[in-house]
A and B are shown apart, each in its own frame.
Chain A
Amino acid sequence: MRPGGSFPARTGRGDWFDRRISPYLMIAPFYVVFGVFGLFPLLYTAWVSLHDWHLINGDEGFVGPANFAELFSDRYFYNALFNTVSIFLLSTVPQLLAALGLAALLSRPLRARTAWRAAVLVPNVVSVAAVALVFSQLFGRDYGVINTMLGVVGIDPVNWQSNRLTAHIAVSVMVMWRWTGYNALLYLAAMQSIPRELYEASTLDGASRWRTFWSITVPGIRPTIIFTVVTATIGGLQLFAEPQLFDASGVNGTGGSGREFQTLTMYLYEHGFSLFDAGYSAAIAWVLFGVSLLFALVNFALVRRIASGD
């Protein structure tokens, strides 16, 4: 490696140590932290889910798959599963389409380019707790700004929390508000790396803007679209803060008086930290993991096909 013999001073033990050991020391902290606080809990979840396990009192005996069996005949579980998937679809599909459109707008030559980009990114730096609090007021039944605006076009005040569909819409709006701009910036970055010649060729062919967008831009940013769909899936299926705080009783709530908007993570939280049933909660965690994995794979395949441009 080194030119032979020019630097005799550097053949000591320090050199050997630096070459053989130091690189591993430099990357070790990550693996230690992940091993203790990431990997171990992950594996331990499987163990806990096979036990009757009280959060405070600890292990109360091995029960095998009983927690899972109970879960699969628990209607509140199916309710939470349905809510999670419904809110996920209602928030993700419009969000990513809007982000695509917004990215197309931002990619035009604009005055004050950075200011526009900053403006659409602002919601993303606001904490979920604050978002939930503010939007719960905006969606208030009696004095909410949104009901007032609907009143202007002649729609009666909506009691957003009391009905499954309206509650899902309200929660989805919070998610969309927070993430659309961020995803638009990711798309914008990807759009800018598409070679200009492709567009010029398309213009020469006389293709319309709309066509050019769908046959060149969208396929050109396919990897980014796949990335956003997968992250939105993993994040969306874990949704917690927005619906939890949308409930008028705050963090103690179960997603509305009839669990209209209780998601799987909220159900996990209820069993783990309100009812102290750690075993059952761990079983929910595993099912949640399975569902996330399934959705991530299905979405991955779906987007690959849709965005291929053929």
Chain B
Amino acid sequence: MRGQPRFITYGLLISVGAASIFPLYWSFVIASRDNSAIAEKTPVLVPGGNLLANIGRVFDTVDFWLALRNSLIVSGTVTLSNVILASIAGFAFARLRFPGRNGLFLVVVGTALVPGHLGVIPLYLLVSDFGWYGRLEAVIVPALVGAFSVFWMRQACEEAVPRDLVDAARVDGCSLWRAFWHAALPAIRPQVAVLAMLTFMATWNDFFWPLVVLDPNDSPTVQVALSRLASGYFTDYSLMLTGATIAVLPVLVAFVLFARRIIDGIMRGAING
């Protein structure tokens, strides 16, 4: 487009980009210094050499190893099961004909609009009845397959799985499951990868439900452990921000590696959704 000089465009973008990155960078800087840095008159903007020492202190203060392990187990399981169950369901919704299909899919879309916090009290009662309080099942099982995932994979199958290929496979005598495996799955692999990334990040970052149902001392996830660092007993800011840095790092790395695909996925979802 014509119009304003380019430097205004880039100038604005640079300030937005800087605002996006600065809090994370600053958090990293404080994490790499000792606790006095935060009290400097002019904000400290250059990393120091205390990062490893601070990381050590975080692991001494709260059981961050356990938290990392728990978060990995929870996020990994939830991601895997969402990807598998939602791909199969999405395939069925997109490429099979069966009575009640459209109505059933509307139910999926409708459930995505219900505010998640509404049922938290009974969910807690239910999960406690199962004996899952403080156990990872409590955060894994309710999240095994979500409406968003099913919706996402149906969209992917609509776009990428050729109808003829499925029909041909069926006529050739493939069972439904083999048709899914050989005809559908190879075609939707890229969208499966994006869904896996989005699910992993969302699960890793989840806070409210793990806070409610896990024991912050015995079975924390990373986010719950992080909230303990913020809980007033500690006034050690470099400790807090080291914790924040460790909690953010895994998803940040994953994001940088897959940024192009994630952005594509989100933008494509915006048009179809």
**B46: CB under 8 A from chain A?**
no
The segment from B55-63, B186-194, B235-243 found at the interface with A is B235-243
B123 contacts across to A, CB distance below 8 A? 37, 41
Q: Are A245 and B227 in contact (CB under 8 A)?
A: yes
**A268: CB under 8 A from chain B?**
yes
Please tell me which one of the listed residues A105, A252, A282, A289 contacts residue B9 in the complex, with CB atoms under 8 A apart. Answer: A105
The segment from A24-32, A69-77, A86-94, A158-166 found at the interface with B is A24-32
Q: Which of B249-263 contact A (CB under 8 A)?
A: 251-252, 255-256, 259-260, 262-263
Q: Given the known inter-chain contacts A137-B241, A185-B270, A238-B116, please indicate yes or no for A143 contacting B38, CB distance below 8 A.
A: yes
**A188: CB under 8 A from chain B?**
yes
A209 contacts across to B, CB distance below 8 A? 1, 3
**A232: CB under 8 A from chain B?**
no
Q: Are A134 and B266 in contact (CB under 8 A)?
A: no
A136 contacts across to B, CB distance below 8 A? 230
Q: Are A7 and B173 in contact (CB under 8 A)?
A: yes
B247 contacts across to A, CB distance below 8 A? 127, 129-130
Size bracket of the B interface: 35 or more
**B83: CB under 8 A from chain A?**
no
Which of B104, B268, B270 has the most chain A CB within a 10 Å cutoff? B270
B116 contacts across to A, CB distance below 8 A? 238
Q: Given the known inter-chain contacts A37-B123, A209-B3, please indicate yes or no for A127 contacting B251, CB distance below 8 A.
A: yes
A227 contacts across to B, CB distance below 8 A? 273
Q: Are A33 and B111 in contact (CB under 8 A)?
A: no
Cα of A177 to Cα of B18 in the assembled complex, Å: 12
**Minimum C-beta distance from A11 to chain B (A):** 11
Q: Given the known inter-chain contacts A30-B150, A133-B240, A289-B115, please indicate yes or no for A186 contacting B17, CB distance below 8 A.
A: no
**Minimum C-beta distance from A99 to chain B (A):** 11
Cα of A141 to Cα of B170 in the assembled complex, Å: 68
Q: Given the known inter-chain contacts A189-B271, A234-B115, please indicate yes or no for A122 contacting B121, CB distance below 8 A.
A: no
Q: Are A33 and B144 in contact (CB under 8 A)?
A: yes
* B40-61 Cβ-contact flags toward A at 8 Å (1 or 0): 1111000000000000000000
**B113: CB under 8 A from chain A?**
yes
Nearest A-chain residue to B173, judged by Cβ: A10
**A258: CB under 8 A from chain B?**
no
B108 contacts across to A, CB distance below 8 A? 30
Q: Are A38 and B12 in contact (CB under 8 A)?
A: no
Q: Are A245 and B117 in contact (CB under 8 A)?
A: no
A-B contact pairs, 14 of them (CB 8 A): A26-B176, A42-B118, A45-B119, A108-B1, A118-B256, A127-B247, A133-B241, A189-B266, A189-B271, A193-B271, A240-B208, A278-B125, A285-B118, A289-B118
